[in-house]
Each structure stands twice: as structure tokens, then as C-alpha cells.
Structure 1
Amino acid sequence: MSRIRIGHDSWTLDRASLEAYHCHAPEADWNLALDHAGQTLWLAGTVTPGPRAPAELVGAEVTVDLRSLDEVVGALLGRAVTLYPGGQDVCALGFTLAPSPAGVRLAAIVTCDWDRALATFPHDEPVVLELDIDAGVEGLHPGGLP
């Protein structure tokens, strides 16, 4: 089971699938399709080293594109959000991929500051973001996406 939690809100995902491209480069790009309640949300980022086979994803370092993180979390919350994982001085989210029955596990827990001008949360405190996503590997492409 895959889920995303932020603060006191939690969502279970119906399905998650990962595609990576530019895999012959030292750093590859990835897109993660997250199916939730009839919609597809897209999380994106980079993976190092570029994987040439699905098994090479296990132990690889991923970095999450924070704009895509804001879009996913904002869609789940139903309101705009700008997150600063690790606080405004860090503002980055990276972790190591682990094996899972589906293919790979994207898992991270991080405290996030957020843009108060958006009034996303009814308090002035940082929020904890937890990603625990089992994703099938749909494709590894040496160049761009087909």
C-alpha cells in the first residue's frame, strides 16, 4: 500500500508507476505517476546514477523536483501549497530508493516549512511530510521519453 501524509491528512494511492529517462547519463530524470481517486498526479525528479536496468534503481539516490511536490500535495489538499522540505535554509528532498514487492520504494519523512502567504494550514507550525510509495518500474529509457 502506498500513501502520502502531510500533517494530519493522509491519502492512500491506488497505484504508482515510475519511468526514468536519459538513463545512459550520470544523472537520469524520472516521472512517478500516482493514481489517486480517479486522477493521475505526477511527481518528478532526478536519480543518480542513471539506471540501465531496474535492479540498478535499488540503492540509487533520488532528488524530488519541489515544484512537482507542491503540485501533488496541493492537489491532494485541494489548495495551493509551497513546501520547503528541511526548512527554508535546506529546501531539498532527497533519499535512497529501496526494494519493494512492486519494484522500488520511495520513502522519506521530512519536516517542511511552508509559505504562510498561501494560508495552506490553519496554524503557523512546520508540517511533517511522509512519502511511503511502492512503485512499479514501467520503463527505463536511454534517451528522452518515447
Structure 2
Amino acid sequence: MSRLQLGDQSWTLRKASLTIYHGAAAEADWNLALDHAGETLWLAGTITPGPHAPEALLGAEVTVDLRSLDEVVSHLLGRAVTLYPNGQEVCALVFRLTASPQGVHFAATAPCDWDRYLQTFDHDHPVTLELDIDAALTALHPGRLP
């Protein structure tokens, strides 16, 4: 089972499916469908270099689109949040893919500052985000269009 944790709250994800677009490019786009309690949530981002073949995913650098991260976490929390992974000066979530029994493993831990205006949390300190997601590769589209 995969999970996403933010601070002291954790959510189990039943499965995750990865689709990659523009795999033959220097930078590819990806969408990760996450099944949480029968609902599909979407994380998105880029992979560098573009994985021209499934075996090229291992060790590839993944960057998470932070708007998609905010949407997933806001849905799970049940309230709006804007996260700044690794602080407002960095504001990025980047890591490398590794192998998993399902295909690839998305694993990252980052301290996250958050937008105080939204009053998401009842404290004034960063929260730790942990991604521990095993994903099956469902499609790798090499060209510009799927």
C-alpha cells in the first residue's frame, strides 16, 4: 500500500497508476492517478530526462507540479492549503525514482511551509510531507501526443 503523510495525518492510497507523455523529449510530463477510498486524485509533474523506455525511469529526476500537490492535499485534508516544499525560498519538490514491485517508487520527504492566510493549521510552524507511493506504469507515450 502507498501512503501520503502531512504532519501527523496520513492517508492510504490503494493503488497508483503512472502515465508519461513526451517520453522521447529532454523533459517528459507525467500524471499519477492515485486511488484514495474509491476516488481518483491526480498528481502531475515532469521527468528529466524523458524516459524513452520503461527501464529509463529508474534514477530519473521527478519534479512535482505544486498546484497538483495542493489540490491532492487540500482534498485529503478537507480544507484549502498552499504548500511550499523545502520552504518559500526553494518551493520545489524534486527527487529520483526507484524500482518497486509495481513498477516505480515515488519517495520524498520535505519540510513544507504553508500559506498562513488560509489558516489551514492551528500552529505557525512547517509540516513534514512524506510521499511513499508505488506506481504501475500504465502508458509511456514517446511522442508529442498520446
Cα-to-partner distance string for 1:43-82 (whole Å, 9 max, x where unaligned): 0000011111111101000000000000010011011000
Structure 2: gaps of 5 or more residues: none
Q: Aligned AA for 2:99?
A: P
Matched with 2:134 is: 134
Mapping 1:55-94, distance limit 5 Å? 55-94=55-94
Per the TM alignment, residue 144 of structure 1 is displaced from its structure 2 partner at its CA by 4.2
Kindly state the Cα deviation for residue 118 of structure 1 after the two structures are TM-superposed. 0.4
Q: Which residue of 1 aligns with 2:108?
A: 108
Seq. identity, %: 71
Q: SS at the partner of 2:23?
A: coil
* Uncovered stretches (5+) of structure 1, i.e. residues with no partner: none
Amino acid at match of 2:57: L
Which amino acid in structure 2 is aligned with residue 37 of structure 1? A
Amino acid at match of 2:133: I
Deviation at 1:122, TM superposition (A): 1.2
Residue equivalent to 2:121: 121
- Secondary structure at the aligned position of 1:32 is classed as strand
Tell me how far 1:143 sits from its aligned partner: 2.5
- TM-score of the pair, normalised by structure 2: 0.98
User: Could you tell me how far apart the structure 2 residues matched to 1:135 and 1:14 are?
Assistant: 10
Distance, in Å, in 2 between the alignment partners of 1:56 and 1:19 is 14
Residue 76 of structure 1 aligns to a residue in which SS?
Answer: helix
Q: CA deviation at 1:145?
A: 5.1
* Aligned position for 2:6: 6
Instruction: Map Cα deviations across residues 93-122 of structure 1 (whole Å, 9 max, x no partner).
Output: 000000000000000000000000001111
Shift of 1:24: 1.1
Kindly report which structure 2 residues correspond to 1:28-39, keeping only aligned pairs within 5 A, or say none: 28-39=28-39
Q: What RMSD, in angstroms, separates the aligned Cα atoms of the two structures?
A: 0.8
Partner of 2:43: 43
Aligned to 1:99: 99
Could you list the structure 1 runs, at least 4 aligned residues long, displaced by more than 2 angstroms after superposition: 143-146
- 1:88 alignment partner, SS class: coil
Aligned ranges 1:14-29 → 2 under 5 Å: 14-29=14-29
